[in-house]
Amino acid sequence: MEKMKYDAVIMGAGLAGLMAANEIASAGYSVAVVSKVFPTRSHSSAAEGGIAAYIPGNSDPNDDPDYMSYDEIKGGDYLVDQDAAELLSSKSGEIVRTLDSWGAPFNRQPDGRIALRYFGGQTYPRTRFVGDKTGMALLHTLYERASGFNIDFYNEWYVIDLLKEKKAAGLVALKMRSLEPIYLTAKAIIIASGGLGMIYKHSTNSYINTGDGYGIALRAGVPLKDPEFVQFHPTGLYPSDILISEAARAEGGILRNNKNERFMEKYAPHKFDLAPRDIVSRSMTIEINEGRGFPGGYLGLDLTHLGRDYIIERLSLAYEAAKTFAGVDATEEMIPVRPAQHYFMGGIDVDITGASPLPGLFAAGEAACVSVHGANRLGSNSLLETLVYGRETGKNVVEFLKKEHDIPDLNPEKSLDDAYKYVKRETGEHFGSILNDLRETMWDNVGIFRDEKKLSKAVSDIKSLRKRAESLYVTDKSNNYNTEFFNALELRNMLDVAYVIAESALNRKESRGAHYRTDFPDRNDDSWLKHTISYLSNEDVRIDYKPVKMTRWKPEVRVY
């Protein structure tokens, strides 16, 4: 097997990975980026509404970075590490201006400066945007910049495993085009491989969001932090679950039930439709469950009063998605929407330097849990996190690289053998049926409303799926874009992370942010104001805790 040695290797070519690569390459270190897709196909491209930023001199006159941190902390239901939130807020303006100087075509005010708008959970408007395809614009800007640097891109290479001893040693990957294996060793490894939406039946995520980074980390003994916190976005388009951006409500869109009522008045009497996503999604689920939804189980997102020109200019993607995928003209009728899985607040346990408990292993973006989102992420903060913490992590890796490091000399063959057993087997079960069952049970039992019974069911379902996966086999024996093989490897990761999520959710006996237990409907700060730290060891999930870092804000009742 070919072996390549770098100073740093990054798994994932979305915004977080590219930002880190950019930082490390600029410092003169050798860096490789491995991604199972060409960089611009990464899921960052699907982020729509915008990126929150306090820009001094170009923000609301009442606003300041402390309000921004406060919004994040309250939005995250106090499970936010407050030092992480403060760092995020304080770097927000600078990062947006940096992306602007690299070419991102942000929408403008008439004087040519970057424009802003309100997003859910914001006391003052801070969201900066490029139409409603902000993620796409930023990803392209960053990839295009990175393509001018000395970075080795391994596009369409699939990472199988992370090798480590006392320290992270390298990634084993396969070239998807030819199944040629490679062992990429490095002093520092960054996992920036994004989220896991495909473990849910209804998700706004890309097909590629299969939780690979979480899976390889868990198998290498690295824990996930707060994995029970999964965000459900209020406005997935019915029935295809395509994301209708929060921008639609930020620009004045109103959710209505089958009686044409603006039902959010009841649930969030101050913020209405712009309450945080967990609250809106629960409210919508209640409306639908109590019979005030439309047949099929959806509600209406009403934009009609905004006017055609405004909708087409500011919400073109929402307009287009409704038209293309649901046959609805949003300028004339309501868009059919229902909540769908959207984001994973949990992730690889890292501190504000991006470092995981395993020396040499870092993580950034949705793959990581720096704890800026706590129990619920605010809209416009995921893009911000990928960039700010992608860069912070890159900077810290540069500091890390300045010291001497030995890379453990490990043999990658076992990882390869483990993977190949699916192809070598001649009978067994295909990935498809196991995957579909997994997505079903996660949606039904680890969803918006949870309880002991459902979560126990999920755990036992997942255990039996893991059993079935022991006889997983791949019919395709070719070595040329054998995507069935990669789907099987993805499934292995999905089963690992789903297991950890379900066990952690069963364990947390309170309701906080996106984790809502009908059997424990209140937040319980006395027992549960702490981070879950979950390990997968052998066949068991082991749970530990870490305190939440508090700086200036005391927990208070969370109403909107």
Partner 1 sequence: MKIDEAELGEEKPVSERPGGKPFAREIDYRVGDLFWGKIHIRNSGKMYMLVTSKIPFNWKPLVKDLKLKGKIVDSAGGFLWVQEDEKYINDDVKFLKDYLEKMKNSKKE
Partner 2 sequence: MVEEKEITVKIRKYSKANGESWQSYKVKVDRYTQMTEVLRRIKTEQDPSLSYRAACHMAVCGSCSMIINGEPRLACKTLALDIADEKNEVTLQPMGYFETERDLIPDIDEFYDRMHRVKPRLYADDEVLKGDFEPRMTPEDQKEVWKFAQCIWCGLCVSACPSVRIDENFLGPAAHAKGYRFLADSRDTIRDERINILMDSAWRCTSCYMCYEVCPRDIEPVIAIKKTKAYVNDFKKDTPVTVMAKKHDDAVSESIAETGKIKESSLYLKTFGITEAMRDMKYMFEEGKLKYAFSKDNNVKRIDEIKKIMEE
The correct pick among 61, 291, 327, 547 for binding partner 2 (CB under 8 A) is 327
Q: Which residue's CB is nearer to partner 1, number 54 or number 153?
A: 54
Q: What angle do CA 337, 340, 343 make, to 5 degrees?
A: 135
Q: Which residue's CB is nearer to partner 2, number 183 or number 232?
A: 232
**In angstroms, rounded to a whole number, what is the distance separating the alpha carbons of residues 518 and 534?**
23
Binding to partner 2 in span 10-39, by CB under 8 A: 37-38
300 near partner 2, judged by CB under 8 A: no
Residues forming beta bridges with residue 59, ordered by sequence position: none
175 near partner 2, judged by CB under 8 A: no
Q: Which residue's CB is nearer to partner 1, number 63 or number 161?
A: 63
208's contact among partner 1, partner 2, none, with CB below 5 to 8 A by partner kind, is partner 2
**In angstroms, rounded to a whole number, what is the distance separating the alpha carbons of residues 360 and 165?**
11
116's contact among partner 2, partner 1, none, with CB below 5 to 8 A by partner kind, is partner 1
148 near partner 2, judged by CB under 8 A: yes
**In angstroms, rounded to a whole number, what is the distance separating the alpha carbons of residues 435 and 466?**
11
Q: Which residue's CB is nearer to partner 2, number 106 or number 272?
A: 106
**In angstroms, rounded to a whole number, what is the distance separating the alpha carbons of residues 260 and 300?**
8
Contacts of 411 (CB under 8 A, 6+ apart): none
Q: Which residue's CB is nearer to partner 2, number 123 or number 479?
A: 479
Q: Which residue is listed with tokens 């003169």?
A: 28
- Look up residue 513 and give its DSSP letter: T
Q: Which residue's CB is nearer to partner 2, number 207 or number 545?
A: 207
Q: What residues act catalytically? A: 277
480's contact among partner 2, partner 1, none, with CB below 5 to 8 A by partner kind, is partner 2
Least Å distance between CB 556 and partner 2? 36
Binding to partner 2 in span 238-257, by CB under 8 A: 239-240, 242-243
SS3 of residue 436 by DSSP? helix
Binding to partner 2 in span 475-504, by CB under 8 A: 475-476, 478, 480-484, 487
Least Å distance between CB 123 and partner 1? 9
Least Å distance between CB 60 and partner 1? 4
The residue range among 166-174, 235-243, 363-371, 498-506 that interacts with partner 2, by the rule CB under 8 A, is 235-243
Instruction: Extract the tokens encoding 525.
Output: 């700060």
Instruction: Extract the tokens encoding 86.
Output: 């403060």
Q: Which residue's CB is nearer to partner 1, number 54 or number 232?
A: 54
Return the amino acid letter for 48.
E
How many residues sit close enough to partner 2 to count as binding (CB under 8 A)? 72
**In angstroms, rounded to a whole number, what is the distance separating the alpha carbons of residues 155 and 173?**
11
Q: Where are the alpha helices (DSSP H) in 259-346?
A: 264-267, 277-289, 308-314, 316-326
Contacts of 53 (CB under 8 A, 6+ apart): 92, 93, 95, 96, 126, 127, 128, 384
The correct pick among 35, 45, 396, 441 for binding partner 2 (CB under 8 A) is 45
The residue range among 17-25, 62-70, 127-135, 273-281 that interacts with partner 2, by the rule CB under 8 A, is 127-135
DSSP 23-70: HHHHTT--EEEEESS-GGGSGGGG--S-EE---TTSS-TT--HHHHHH
Give the phi and the psi of residue 337 in degrees, each rounded to 5: -135, 155
Instruction: Extract the tokens encoding 126.
Output: 């801070």
The residue range among 66-74, 291-299, 380-388, 519-527 that interacts with partner 2, by the rule CB under 8 A, is 291-299
Q: Which residue's CB is nearer to partner 2, number 296 or number 307?
A: 296
**In angstroms, rounded to a whole number, what is the distance separating the alpha carbons of residues 41 and 211?**
16
Binding to partner 2 in span 184-213, by CB under 8 A: 206-208
Least Å distance between CB 192 and partner 2? 16
Q: Which residue's CB is nearer to partner 2, number 90 or number 123?
A: 90
Four-CA torsion 381, 382, 386, 389, nearest 10 degrees: 50
Over the window 343 to 362, marking each residue x when it contacts partner 2 by CB under 8 A and - when it does not, the resulting string is: --------------------
Residues forming beta bridges with residue 51, ordered by sequence position: 128
Least Å distance between CB 112 and partner 2? 3
125's contact among partner 1, partner 2, none, with CB below 5 to 8 A by partner kind, is partner 1
Binding to partner 2 in span 421-450, by CB under 8 A: 430-433, 435-436
Q: Which residue is listed with tokens 């639609």?
A: 248
The correct pick among 221, 269, 296, 307 for binding partner 2 (CB under 8 A) is 296
Least Å distance between CB 68 and partner 1? 13
The correct pick among 11, 87, 137, 186 for binding partner 2 (CB under 8 A) is 137
Q: Which residue's CB is nearer to partner 2, number 151 or number 361?
A: 151
The residue range among 107-115, 258-266, 406-414, 504-512 that interacts with partner 2, by the rule CB under 8 A, is 107-115
Least Å distance between CB 91 and partner 2? 12
**In angstroms, rounded to a whole number, what is the distance separating the alpha carbons of residues 520 and 507?**
12
Residues forming beta bridges with residue 236, ordered by sequence position: 243, 338
Least Å distance between CB 116 and partner 1? 5
The angle that helices 452-469 and 431-445 make with each other, rounded to 10 degrees, is 170
Contact residues: partner 1, CB under 8 A: 60-63, 109-112, 115-118, 124-125, 252
Four-CA torsion 92, 97, 101, 102, nearest 10 degrees: 20
Quickly count: other Cβ atoms within 10 Å of residue 544's Cβ: 13
Return the amino acid letter for 113.
R
Return the amino acid letter for 372.
V
The residue range among 91-99, 185-193, 346-354, 384-392 that interacts with partner 2, by the rule CB under 8 A, is 91-99
Distances from the Cα of 179 to the Cα of 47, 131, 193, 477, angstroms: 31, 39, 20, 11
94 near partner 2, judged by CB under 8 A: yes
